[in-house]
Structure 1
Amino acid sequence: MLLAVIVAAGCGTSKRLADVQQQLGTIQQQLAELEAKSPSRDELAALAEDLRRHLQALGDSGAARDQRLEELAARVERAASALDGVGLELDDLAAEIEAAQEELAALRTATEETRRRLPAASGPSPVELPSDPQQLYDGAYAHFQRGRYQLAIHGFQRYLDLYPNTDLADNATYWIGECYYRQQELQQAINQFDAVITRFPNSDRIPSALLKKGYAYLELNQRDPGVAQLQEVIRTYPGSDEARLARQRLAELGIDAGP
């Protein structure tokens, strides 16, 4: 039985390894395409030299010189703007590549650990999980702080898959909801906040989950459930910061929430 569990874990890790490799390949292909279509610094220098040569050739022809100057200056400006825009895209892709490479390295290590355990698998010894829980959680939270919400969702979900009963499981569930909320995927956010409330009834994240659930309903133009969630925050956690924020939002809606 233990051997079967380890083999299954190894298969799952190998599949995830292949998924990340494919993701990395796609990102690198996008990076190559962006680099191929972007104007280079050499091209901008050539445009500037073209500008200088034409100004010299035009000499005393003031009107023609001014017209040519405007045309060439516009060309340089368009090329520079294009280069800046592509540069931002390249920066984003580079960050994604770095994150994918980090995960790829971790998955490779996990795969090797699983393979090394296979020959000695016997008896009731527990199966060791392939990742350090705190490192996995911290990595996902770092993605969240940087606005890389899809990577954060993936990291927190992997944490929950591996460590569903730890002290940080409620936090991981909540932050997935926050990621969806910030991406305006509001129904998915509501589902995650519900999961915090139902799966972790003693969590200190429940007031925030109720508050954000109410916000999400209101943004979906579902006023009645939104108001109900905010009122529940005030009723159940009257002295909390979340209750203060709930009162403010209700006041904005013209609803008296009491003292």
Structure 2
Amino acid sequence: MKLLIISLTAVLLFSSCWVSQWAHSPGRVEEMELRTGRMEMVLDSIKIVAAGNETLLRAVQAQSGLRGSFDVEALQEVVDRLERMLSSGAQTSSGSTPASVQTAYEEAYRQYQQGGYSVASEGFLEVAMGSPETSVAPDALYYLALCHQNLGETHRAVEEFTAVYFRYPSSERAPSALARAAAIYNSHSANSDGTRLETLIVESYPNSDEARLIVSRRGGE
């Protein structure tokens, strides 16, 4: 089973599902090739303000089907979502969490601890999407990914783990989330993608436990 590589859907805090219709119209393909060129130009500009965008570009290419069949509908959705992502930027948790949001998070966490991953994921999703600037939002997104990983939905887990980094790069969860995403890639024999994320951890969070472990495993580079 081919692992779906990082989706920009997650950077924007998810969508319902990818379009399953495969299109092969020459006119549509030509149009999307032009839009792909625009997408690559936009990605070049992102490099000025964010690290790890080579990983992001590979994510766009892989999720949109460029490693296999050319999924025109999926690629169009990726391009549209990328453009929206550029205007949204990273989130910063405010440190202030309304009582209702805190209660929702704690209930989701209780369900998670009891193994009710499906129910817990709904609660974490509500917090992550509905209150993205609260102090519990990074944790909610992180545990949402863990829920999907435990449910065997590894492609969604990778999306959400990666979203923790892109949405909350200063969160203490970010290096751990990237490490978990890298581990999923490695377990699915996508070692080059796993290595890219590990390198991103070392470069972005050199003092983190995850970075030290990676450096030690690589022989102290």
TM-score normalised per structure 2: 0.51
* Alignment partner of 1:174 is 2:174: no
Q: Report the alpha carbon displacement of residue 211 of structure 1 after superposing the two structures with TM.
A: 0.4
1:199 maps to 167
Which structure 1 segments of 5+ residues have no match?
Answer: 1-129
SS in 1 for 2:189: coil
Q: For 1:182 and 1:193, locate their aligned partners in 2 and report how far apart those are by CA, in whole Å.
A: 13
- Matched residue pairs, number? 124
Amino acid aligned to 2:186 = L
Aligned counterpart, 1:51: none
Task: Please tell me the root mean square deviation across aligned C-alpha atoms, in Å.
Answer: 2.1
Question: Partner of 2:187 in structure 1?
Answer: 219
From the superposition, tell whether residues 222 and 140 of structure 1 become closer, same or farther in structure 2 (CA, over 3 Å): same
Counterparts of 1:30-45 in structure 2, within 5 Å, are none
Write out aligned runs for 1:1-259 (5 A): 132-247=100-215, 251=217, 256-258=218-220
Q: Whole-Å Cα distance in 1 between the matches of residues 119 and 220 of structure 2?
A: 41
Partner amino acid for 1:258?
G
Deviation readout 1:200-244 (Å, 9 max, x if unpaired):
232221101110110011112101011221222223323322224
Kept in 2: contact 1:211–1:246 (CA 8 A): no
- Is 2:138–2:164's contact at 8 Å kept on the other side of the alignment? yes
For residues 132 and 181 of structure 1, do their structure 2 counterparts lie closer, same or farther at Cα, with a shift above 3 Å needed? same
Q: Distance in 2 between matches of 1:144 and 1:246?
A: 28
Does the aligned pair in 2 maintain the 1:211–1:229 contact within 8 Å? yes
3-state DSSP of counterpart to 1:180: helix
Instruction: Name the CA distance, whole Å, in 2 between partners of 1:134 and 1:199.
Output: 20
Structure 1 position 183, deviation (Å): 2.6
Give the alignment's TM-score, normalised by structure 1: 0.44
Work out the CA distance in 2 between the residues paired with 1:147 and 1:242: 26
Separation (CA, whole Å) in 2 of partners of 1:198 and 1:207: 11
Q: Is the 8 A contact 2:128 2:138 kept in 1?
A: no
Deviation at 1:131, TM superposition (A): 7.7
Q: Mark the CA change 1:140 to 1:223 in structure 2 (over 3 Å): closer, same or farther.
A: same
Q: CA deviation at 1:187?
A: 1.1
Task: Find the aligned partners of 1:138 and 1:211 in 2 and give their Cα distance.
Answer: 25
Q: Is the 8 A contact 2:101 2:127 kept in 1?
A: yes
**Structure 2 unmatched ranges of 5 or more:** 1-97
Greater relative contact order: 1 or 2 (C-alpha under 8 angstroms, separation 6 or more)? Answer: 2
For residues 232 and 198 of structure 1, what CA distance do their matches in structure 2 show?
12
- Higher alpha-carbon Rg: 1
235 and 201 in structure 1: CA distance in 2 versus 1, 3 angstrom threshold: closer
Shift in CA distance, 257/177, structure 1 to aligned 2, threshold 3 Å: farther
Identity %: 33
How far does residue 145 in structure 1 lie from its aligned partner after superposition?
1.4
Return 210-219 or 153-162, whichever deviates more. 153-162
SS of structure 2 residue aligned to 1:132: helix
Q: Deviation of residue 257 (structure 1)?
A: 4.3
Letter of the structure 1 residue corresponding to residue 204 of structure 2: T
Q: Which amino acid aligns with 1:231?
A: T
